[in-house]
Structure 1
């Protein structure tokens, strides 16, 4: 076997290298869209998580306020019964 390659072999290797570069160039060209999609997806997931947390916090505040009002009404009734106001 000769240590030199023929023109045909060289052209085949050149074609393979060009195809690989074309593939890489295509992937590089698609990167901005891929990154944009991933960032959009991540932002949507983050927004969904924040909204769920806000809903939970709102429910907790409403529950605490209603419980507090119930306790105050119960104390007022108790005090009213003790002092004969009601």
Structure 2
């Protein structure tokens, strides 16, 4: 995964956390915090924040505009997972 540009790598990392959360395999915010410490390279936090912000905004748009209840529910859960990432990132900084 490290051969990808940093932005793409962080986007994939965020997606991985969200998907793992949706599958019920992340049981605590501490787990997310530890994943962030292990996977975000020191000195690149600004790039990570931009990618996370873009992902949050895109998911919020889906939550607002999606008409299909099932897709909206999944987007809402994804948004909640991203907000957990955001709160744990603020803790890690």
Q: TM-score, normalised by structure 2?
A: 0.28
Identify which of structures 1 and 2 has the higher relative contact order when contacts are C-alpha pairs closer than 8 Å and 6+ apart: 2
Q: Pick the structure with greater CA Rg.
A: 1
Higher helix share: 1
Q: TM-score, normalised by structure 1?
A: 0.30
